[in-house]
């Protein structure tokens, strides 16, 4: 009798364990792309010249990576009110573009350097409901269209003809917003985006709350329904891939900054600025590869 009782007890425990395991598995979140981008290294980010954004430059061949920071804003721009620079980008034919904003006003500015080194300025008058801030630019792989982002909680990205590249643009005319990327999930405090393919963006978010995706400072992927253009809006499916690294000798609030995808090497780089005094010592540009 005791043997049969032990067997019944064992069978009951086994069944309960199976039920508990099934319940845990059914409650677990589905597999995601959280481990798609693997950290492979980092470099110190200078707080004055490498604290806002970065981009790889393909043309001319052998060009160095370029960075923006509070120390890279030219004095003549600053005295005219353009005192904040965001995350830049470079087209595949050698044009380099920096986004600028002022503390007040009704316009934002894009500073463009052509292949030969000459600079020009393209001013955009704000559209109805458009935020003043000008956090980043991302140039489409065909070079003709430029995405730009607004800070805060947003459900869209703005699309412009690429200044200096698209033949419809001129420094003497207003740079028009021509369409929108409508996001299927809100994003917060996006500091940079870059194209990894014709219809895929990788974005760095400085989201401090973590309520949108369950994690603070996420690396986001936005899959577009079509290539952006001036002929109509497109939609974007947003996925949170992982949290960006938050490591420092100081405690406090980190700031996720600009992002760059180098298609020549498949390397993704993201700037994360450290809190407090450590902004001077251990802010980093983290490097990732797709696994």
- Looking at residue 61, its pLDDT comes to 87
- 73 within domain boundaries: yes
Q: Which long-range contacts (CB under 8 A, 24 or more apart) does 227-232 make?
A: 227/140, 227/142, 227/145, 227/198, 227/199, 228/140, 228/145, 228/147, 228/159, 228/179, 228/181, 229/144, 229/145, 229/159, 229/178, 229/179, 230/145, 230/159, 230/161, 230/178, 230/179, 231/179, 232/179
**Domain carrying residue 206:** 38-290
What's residue 168's pLDDT? 98
Is residue 89 assigned to a domain? yes
Contacting residues for 34 by C-beta, under 8 A, at least 6 apart: 241, 242
Examine residue 196 and state whether it is found in any structural domain, yes or no. Answer: yes
Number of domains in the chain: 1
| Residues in the chain with pLDDT values less than 70 | 1-35
- pLDDT value for 96: 98
Q: List beta partners, residue 42.
A: 286
CATH code of the domain in which 127 resides: 2.120.10
For the chain, what is the mean pLDDT?
A: 90
**Is residue 1 included in any domain, yes or no?**
no
Could you tell me if residue 10 is inside a domain?
no
pTM: 0.88
pLDDT at residue 19, as a whole number:
35
């Amino acid at each position: 009798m005791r043997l049969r009782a032990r067997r019944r007890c064992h069978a009951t425990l086994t069944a309960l364990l199976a039920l508990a395991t099934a319940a845990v598995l059914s409650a677990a979140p589905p597999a995601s792309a959280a481990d798609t981008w693997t950290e492979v290294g980092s470099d110190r980010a200078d707080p004055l010249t490498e604290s806002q954004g970065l981009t790889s430059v393909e043309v001319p061949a052998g060009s160095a990576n370029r960075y923006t920071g509070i120390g890279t804003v030219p004095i003549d721009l600053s005295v005219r009110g353009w005192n904040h620079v965001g995350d830049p980008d470079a087209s595949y034919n050698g044009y380099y573009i920096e986004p600028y904003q002022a503390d007040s006003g009704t316009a934002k500015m894009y500073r463009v350097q052509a292949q030969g080194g000459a600079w020009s300025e393209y001013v955009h008058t704000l559209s109805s409901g458009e935020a003043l801030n000008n956090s980043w630019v991302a140039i489409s792989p065909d070079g003709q269209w430029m995405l730009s982002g607004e800070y805060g909680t947003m459900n869209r990205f703005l699309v412009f003809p690429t200044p200096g590249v698209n033949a419809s643009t001129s420094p003497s005319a207003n740079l028009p917003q021509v369409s929108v990327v409508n996001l299927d999930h809100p994003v917060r405090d996006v500091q940079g985006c870059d194209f990894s393919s014709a219809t895929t963006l990788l974005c760095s978010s400085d989201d401090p709350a973590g309520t949108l995706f369950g994690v603070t400072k996420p690396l986001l992927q936005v899959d577009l329904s079509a290539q952006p253009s001036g002929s109509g809006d497109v939609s974007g499916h947003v996925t949170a891939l992982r949290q960006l690294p938050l490591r420092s000798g100081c405690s406090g609030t980190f700031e996720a900054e600009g992002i760059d995808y180098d298609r020549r090497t498949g390397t993704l780089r993201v700037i994360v600025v450290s809190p407090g005094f450590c902004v001077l010592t251990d802010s980093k540009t983290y490097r990732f590869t797709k696994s």
